[in-house]
Amino acid sequence: MNGNDDKSKAFDDALRSSVVAGWFDQAMTQHRQGNLTQAQVFYQRVLDAQPDHPEALNFLGILMQQRGQSTQAEQFIRRAIRSAPDYAAAYTNLGNVLIVQKRYEDAIAAYRQATIYRADEVEACVNMGAVLRGLGRLPEALEAYRQASERRPASAEIHHRLGLVLAELGQLEEAIVAQEAALRCDAGHEAAIEQLGGLLHRMGRSEDARMVLGNAVFQLGDSKAALNLLQFWLRLMPDDPIAQHRLAAWFGQDQAPERASDAYVTYLFDRYAEGFDQHLVQELNYQAPAVIAERIAEVLGAPAACLDVLDAGCGTGLCAPLLHPYARHLVGVDLSPRMLDKARERGGYDELIVAELTAFLATRPQAYDLIVSADTLVYFGALEAVFTAAAAALRPGGWLAFTAEAATGDAPPGGFRINHSGRYSHAAEYLRQALAEAGLEIRSMTTATLRRECDQPMMGYVVLASQPVISIS
- Residue 311 phi/psi, 5° resolution? -95, 100
Q: Worst-scoring range by mean pLDDT, 145-149, 346-350, 412-416?
A: 412-416
Residue 7 pLDDT = 44
- Residue 52 phi/psi, 5° resolution? -105, 20
- Any residues with CB less than 8 A from the CB of 55 and at least 6 apart, and which? 24, 80
- Residue 410 phi/psi, 5° resolution? -65, 150
Give the DSSP H or E segment for 456.
Answer: strand 456-466
Cα separation, 346 vs 170, in Å, equals 48
Q: Is the pLDDT of residue 104 over 60?
A: yes
For 412-430, the pLDDT digits (tens) are: 888 999 988 889 999 999 9
- Whole-Å CA distances, 98 to 54, 101, 113, 284, 473: 19, 5, 14, 58, 99
Residue 2 pLDDT = 57
Residue 472 pLDDT = 52
Give the chain's mean pLDDT: 91
First and final C-alpha spacing in the chain:
134
Q: Is the pLDDT of residue 223 over 90?
A: no
- For the residues of 310-361, what is the DSSP string, one character each? EEET-TTTTTHHHHGGGEEEEEEEES-HHHHHHHHHH---SEEEE--HHHHH
Q: Is the pLDDT of residue 231 over 80?
A: yes
Cα dihedral 100, 101, 106, 109 in deg (nearest 10): -10
- Residue 441 phi/psi, 5° resolution? -100, 125
Residue pair 142/165 in contact by the 8 Å Cβ criterion: yes
- Cβ neighbours, 10 Å, residue 188: 13
Indicate the angle between helix axes 206-220 and 224-236, nearest 10 degrees.
Answer: 160
Residue pair 373/292 in contact by the 8 Å Cβ criterion: no
HSE, CB side, 13 Å, CA atoms: give it for residue 45: 18
Residue 5 pLDDT = 52
For 240-278, the pLDDT digits (tens) are: 888 888 888 888 666 678 899 898 898 888 877 777 767
Tell which residue, 351, 282, 344, has the closest CA to residue 310. Answer: 351
Residue pair 458/385 in contact by the 8 Å Cβ criterion: no
Q: Which of 16-20, 87-91, 280-284, 410-414: highest mean pLDDT?
A: 87-91
Residue 8 pLDDT = 46
Of the chain, the percentage scoring pLDDT greater than 90 comes to: 76
Residue 281 pLDDT = 66
Tell which residue, 432, 303, 430, 451, has the closest CA to residue 374. Answer: 451
Mean pLDDT over 117-139 rounds to: 95
Q: Is the pLDDT of residue 125 over 80?
A: yes
Residue pair 357/333 in contact by the 8 Å Cβ criterion: yes
- Cβ neighbours, 10 Å, residue 240: 22
Residue 30 pLDDT = 95
| pTM for this entry | 0.71
The three-class DSSP label of residue 205 is coil
Q: Is the pLDDT of residue 309 over 60?
A: yes
Q: Worst-scoring range by mean pLDDT, 150-159, 162-171, 463-472?
A: 463-472
pLDDT band at 3 (very low <50, low <70, confident <90, very high): low
